[in-house]
A and B are shown apart, each in its own frame.
Chain A
Amino acid sequence: MTDKPKNILDITGTVLNIQRYCSHDGPGTRTTVFVKGCSLRCKWCGNPESIRMKPEVSYDPNKCDGKKCSICLKAPFPEGGFYFVEGDDSKVKVNWTLAAGINQEIVSLCPTGALEMFGKTMTVGEVMDEVEKDTSIYRNTGGGMTISGGEVMLQPDFAAALLQEAHNRGINTAIETASNAPWSFLEKVLPHVDTMLHDIKLMNSERHKKWTGVSNERILANLKKAYETFPDTDFIARTPLIPGVNADDEHMLGVLEFIKPHKNVIDYELLPYHRFGLGKYDSLGVIYELDDYKTPSDEVVKRFQTMIDKAFGRELTTE
């Protein structure tokens, strides 16, 4: 037979983090499993730590013991990867270029846990143990499990197995995806999904390529096929609103027109852009290109929301 594990509980994937009690990633209160690795490079990305597929070292200076420890200055830690600045012995500093080659085994030598691998390999079973802790909450709130990212479609086998296992245990499932993947990947994952939250970042292909790194033809084709192939799945379209990029009427109208013929697209959500992950992006390495993006004004968001409510035939609530 194949060398694939027989039991789906043993299938592994790279997980960034598991966050409980999430309220914005699908219906009810949910546990969100963030997977690592993304297939786009949006210039406004607020989660740069989730972009690369391979595990990366993370450093929490608050836990570092400083010079008296100094374990990371010696082999097997990479030469020049960690250092002290003269006059400041309290916390080690990280040279992200030279520390890049580090692995889990070496990182585990850090006695205080200041160094950790960001992103770890987990089995479906391990993830489910965590997810199952809140089963009663899901039941009470209509919640469940959401796989977010990164990009869930980068690990289709793991995602499919995880979602299937959740269903086996009676847990509602959702995914958040940008849908930039071969259709065969979506086809593998979607049968196990109750709600799919998917981004439509830009309707114009050329501009999509400019801002995210790839054109959008395949994404839109995937979405259309998904709407048609999985009529029982709920779809929620989303747009991270960024003034100067997509916070305009043209985009809103384009998306509404695109989703309109499909009854299983139950909503269109706006995610006003917040400069959230902004930090010292110079040290993040070459792949991150955050710049001065701005948040859309409340007024604009409100106006767009009205357009959406109208398109979905919702009554305008008045005080």
Chain B
Amino acid sequence: MIIDVGHAGMLRHVAVNTGAGFVPGTNAIVMGAAIAGNRLGWEMTGIRDGFEGLLHPERYPDGGLITLDPGLIENLDPSTGGILGQAPWTDPLYEQVANADKNRKEEDLPLELLKRLNEKGIDGLISIVGGQGLGILHKIHLKGFHTVCIPRSIENDIASTAVSFGFNSALSITIDMLSKAYQAARSASKIAVVEVPGEHAGWIALQAGIAVRADVVLITEIPCDLKNVASRLKDKISPRRPYGLVVVAEGAKFDDSPKGQFVDPVKPIVPPIGAGKVAVSVATALQKMIDTEIYPLSIGPWARGGNPTATDHQLGIAYGAWAVKTLRASKNGVMVSFVPPDIKYVPLEDVINKVRTVSADSEFLKIAGALGIYFGNFSSKM
């Protein structure tokens, strides 16, 4: 349900902000929104670091708000990082404050937030968020504020949109890195177990795994038994091809480890830096069943830096402009969504608390199957 809070098309001053976590190239979105907004004669303002620039202006000597005027936009580089910074991993609607008794209590802040927005004359908000940020935005919307969400998620796990901003960039770097891992595994005659982003959804693992013809792709959606993985790897590895590549999503799940093959909680003397826990566990567990040497790697930290791809650059500008169009059309409390070939918008309440995952009948799974990539069996019980 979309709450009607007056005619949003009459807005005068719209703010743009971004949520927590790094996504490359949000400048493109800011640019798209600012150009479209300025053309309507709206005042466009960027809030730095989530809501920090608004709530704690004292922390910003140059001001916590950035006026997105045409002069600034003209000089903004859409192919690099974010002028808006990045929100802290905290809910801006709650803040821990110490009260008179020195006891910590959580204070509800939306009133303070709305007060600040009103003080600045801001009457609309475009938020570039995903995950937890969607819920926060929805709450602000329920308080009666004009809001539009631009979906951003490197995992592409936001429901109701085919592509979230940031996914294409993360996928590209992952494919790049996996190619390198593949060549390295090949030159060392070892099996690389590479952890890729994907806490809630296996899109990156699956799509990138297909691109580099991985031997195995393990994703959140399909819990699998590492024994089956080991036997598949053994089948594929031969003296002619004494190497392999296993792609593991960060959130991959495994069937209860059979007795005697539990995942040893290894306490490495030198923690494999950057290699996430999943890669290490999988590598250790597989090593017990396979003689080819196995080593863990992780792409995670590298995929969270860098510049956007051309596709994201283009998508960002489009999302930004479309968010303004959406507000202009008096829609609010919505998320803009890309459902090829159209850009649409959907109510936030249809988006929150949902995760876009790889489904059993996904074309990508069929493709992976056709390529001989093992990804477990969807029908296997959770």
Contact = CB atoms under 8 A, between A and B. Distances in A.
A–B interface present (Cβ within 8 A): yes
Contacts of A206: 291
A133 interface: no
B261 A248 contact: yes
Contacts of A210: 291
Contacts of B267: 294-295, 297-298
A300 interface: yes
Interface string A284-319: 000000011011111110000000000000000000
A243 interface: yes
Counting chain B CB atoms within 10 Å of each CB, the highest count among A211, A244, A299, A300 belongs to A244
B287 A299 contact: no
B272 interface: yes
A274 B267 CA distance: 12
B291 A244 contact: no
Contacts of B1: none
Interface string A67-108: 000000000000000000000000000000000000000000
B295 interface: yes
A292 B272 contact: yes
B291 A249 contact: no
A295 B264 contact: no
B293 A243 contact: no
B283 A297 contact: no
Contacts of A274: 269
A247 B267 CA distance: 13
Interface residues of B, number: 19
Contacts, number: 53
A178 B50 CA distance: 63
Contact of A297 (B259, B265, B270, B272): B265
A244 B268 contact: no
Interface in A241-264: 243-245, 247-250, 253
B269 A250 contact: no
Interface string B131-160: 000000000000000000000000000000
A52 interface: no
Contacts of A120: none
A207 interface: yes
Contacts of B288: 244-245, 248
Given A243-B266, A244-B283, A299-B265, A249 B272 contact: no
Interface of B: 259-261, 264-270, 272, 283-284, 287-288, 291, 293-295
Given A296-B266, A298-B267, 10 more contacts: A207-B291, A243-B264, A243-B266, A243-B284, A244-B284, A245-B287, A249-B260, A292-B272, A294-B284, A295-B269
